[in-house]
Amino acid sequence: MPDDISSNFITDIIDSHQESGRFAGRVHTRFPPEPNGYLHIGHAKSICLNFGIAERYGGLCNLRFDDTNPAKEEQEYIDAITEDLRWLGYEWRDRVYFASDYFDQLYDMAVELIRIGKAYVDELTPEQMREYRGSLTEPGRESPYRNRSVAENLTLFEKMRAGGFQEGEAVLRAKIDMASGNINMRDPVMYRILNTPHPRTGDKWRIYPMYDFAHGQSDSIEAITHSICTLEYEDHRPLYNWYLDNIEIYHPQQIEFARLNLSHTVLSKRKLIRLVEEGYVSGWDDPRMPTIAGLRRRGYTPEAIRGFCEDVGVGKVKGVVDLHKLEYHIRQDLNKTAPRVMAVINPLKVVIENYPEGKVEQMEAINNPEDESAGTRHTPFSKVLYIERDDFMEDPPRKFYRLAPGREVRLRYAYFITCTDVIKDANGEIVELRCAYDPATRGGAAPDGRRVKATLHWVSARHALKAEARLYDTLFTAEYPENDRDKDFTDFVNPSSLQVVDPVYIEPHIKTARAGDRFQFERLAYFVVDAESTAEKLVFNRTVTLRDQWRKAQKQSRKASKPKRRKRAPQR
């Protein structure tokens, strides 16, 4: 189990319960996903919170699938959610539950509410029900079916259960208050008819409880102490309490916190489903998706995701967290753990003219400067190399310290080289550099103490492994793709969110890497081996660039576009 979480307003509430003895010292939370999509980074926040709190107090956390809607739920989602939770590092032993396990109990509770005159079968059409409901400013009206007798309601509810009505012809409603300022309390629907088999209960039921009728009681049945949920459910709390009070069963304490929103992405399952179904991404686990499965395939670690969740904290104030905070955490983690390797993504050929033809030297390279125990490796050096095209400029501006005609730089772990000639094709494009190396600088230091201003990565052309690299950018071009009322969020999908580079050239020892192995391509980015790799060709997903190049570019463009502020406001 991962470390527990630090203090927040929810732990303060729990502390007060611990002091007052409200739950006799028990702390029992749950994570209640609806299996109608994959888990995303927002869920991770809820997961870290619920499991973290249980851990902190030596309590328990259940996994409960809130599977009340058979139409949208699939086994695939249940399996994916289970896998993602395990991968995040959480353990629930045998405490996995399904709201559908409580269908019999929930049915009995509904009958009980009818018996005490607190529920009735309504036969208004769905349109009429909407009309009768009123609005935020107007009270609702009572249904003409509201005052049916208990006996009639029992008969009609049984008829609903037995399939005597078509979908939409009848619902069971709680009899609360059509004039309530809280619309959730205006005789909410408890049961509706759905002629859809359920993944777990098959065709046993033709009526299904609404989420609101199932959720609070499921928490009660499981003797949850603290039902932690997001702020949208604040207005549902009076309804949950009404059900528990009237059915006279045990009360958990519901506590609401602000859901996580992340810039440059969307986190609602309804929208994530559209991205998948409309083909904007290759699937729920596309490395551009904010799903746990997508982040995993992108190369994220459980540690980074948990660290991020802990960092964003828990509060009551809605806000949007910058995507760069998430990227910061994966960089921190991979910096400590990912072995370094030299790879060239945009190659420029370099011929070392004074290096003997056919000679190969094995250069010693450090696997991870942050982790001595990672040791060293040998990497071949020869006469023809690739360097990164960006590392050369024919006519360099000031502050460009890398390779240029006549200039000397260091090739990492190898030699100092000086550019002696630039070869171009018929179109004037540079196709090759001629260089000279200084044999006295083997290992990357000059005995005479002379210095160079740049160290470049390189690979030996003859030895390099060719692989495919998938370079990802944010899935949306807009910081807040959901904020423009006149546009659909899909209008902001970034057309260049995936750039495939094939081949890239990598140090040869990498050929034994396996799916899930993570590396730092020196001076470029962190990469992970994708499961679509084959024996012939490795596929690498770019997890995150080394520095926050994007933010840097943004800052620069902002600086450029902002009129220079005067130092002092003009005096009148």
- Active-site residues, by number, are 34, 259, 269
Q: How far apart are CA 33 and CA 92, in angstroms?
A: 14
Cα 76 off chain centre by: 18
Q: How far apart are CA 242 and CA 420, in angstroms?
A: 83
Q: Is 290 in the site for ligand ATP (CB under 6 A)?
A: no
Least distance to ligand ATP, CB of residue 55, Å: 18
Helix (H, G, I), strand (E, B) or coil at 480: coil
Q: How far apart are CA 389 and CA 89, in angstroms?
A: 41
HEC assignment per residue over 147-201: CCCHHHHHHHHHHHHCCCCCCCCCEEEECCCCCCCCHHHCCCEEEEECCCCECCC
User: C-alpha distances in angstroms, 502 versus 447, 465, 466, 506?
Assistant: 40, 11, 8, 12
**CB closer to ligand ATP out of 77 and 191:** 77
Q: Is 33 in the site for ligand ATP (CB under 6 A)?
A: yes
Task: Answer for the pair 244, 251: CB distance below 8 angstroms, yes or no.
Answer: yes
* Helix residue ranges, H only, 225-287: 237-247, 269-277
**CB closer to ligand ATP out of 68 and 455:** 68
Q: Which of 146, 251, 259, 442 binds ligand ATP (CB under 6 A)?
A: 259
Task: Answer for the pair 521, 507: CB distance below 8 angstroms, yes or no.
Answer: no
Q: Which of 175, 186, 200, 269 binds ligand ATP (CB under 6 A)?
A: 269
**CB closer to Mg ion out of 34 and 187:** 34
Residue appearing with tokens 């086994």? 75
Asked if residue 188 has a cis previous peptide bond (ω within 30° of 0), the answer is no
The residue number whose beta carbon is nearest to ligand ATP equals 42
Q: Is 268 in the site for ligand ATP (CB under 6 A)?
A: yes
Helix (H, G, I), strand (E, B) or coil at 347: strand
Q: Which of 29, 46, 379, 543 binds ligand ATP (CB under 6 A)?
A: 46
Q: Which of 34, 73, 327, 388 binds ligand ATP (CB under 6 A)?
A: 34
Q: Is 260 in the site for ligand ATP (CB under 6 A)?
A: yes
Q: How far apart are CA 13 and CA 120, in angstroms?
A: 37
Least distance to ligand ATP, CB of residue 268, Å: 4
Give the x-and-dash track for 203-242 against ligand ATP (CB under 6 A): --------------------------xx------------
Give the x-and-dash track for 18-57 against Mg ion (CB under 5 A): ----------------x-----------------------
Least distance to ligand ATP, CB of residue 293, Å: 14
Residue 32 binds which one of ligand ATP, Mg ion, none, with CB within 5 to 8 A depending on kind? ligand ATP
Task: Answer for the pair 409, 452: CB distance below 8 angstroms, yes or no.
Answer: yes
CA angle 474/476/479 to nearest 5° reads 95
**CB closer to Mg ion out of 31 and 540:** 31
Least distance to ligand ATP, CB of residue 314, Å: 9
Q: How far apart are CA 327 and CA 298, in angstroms?
A: 11
Q: Can you read off the two tokens belonging to residue 191?
A: 């049961």
Q: How far apart are CA 335 and CA 368, in angstroms?
A: 8
**CB closer to ligand ATP out of 259 and 349:** 259
Size of the site for ligand ATP (CB under 6 A): 14
Helix (H, G, I), strand (E, B) or coil at 321: strand
DSSP state of 260: P
Q: Is 43 in the site for ligand ATP (CB under 6 A)?
A: yes
**CB closer to Mg ion out of 31 and 57:** 31
**CB closer to ligand ATP out of 163 and 319:** 319
Residue 45 binds which one of Mg ion, ligand ATP, none, with CB within 5 to 8 A depending on kind? ligand ATP
Given the rule CB under 6 A, which residues bind ligand ATP? 32-34, 42-43, 45-46, 229-230, 259-260, 267-269
Given the rule CB under 5 A, which residues bind Mg ion? 34
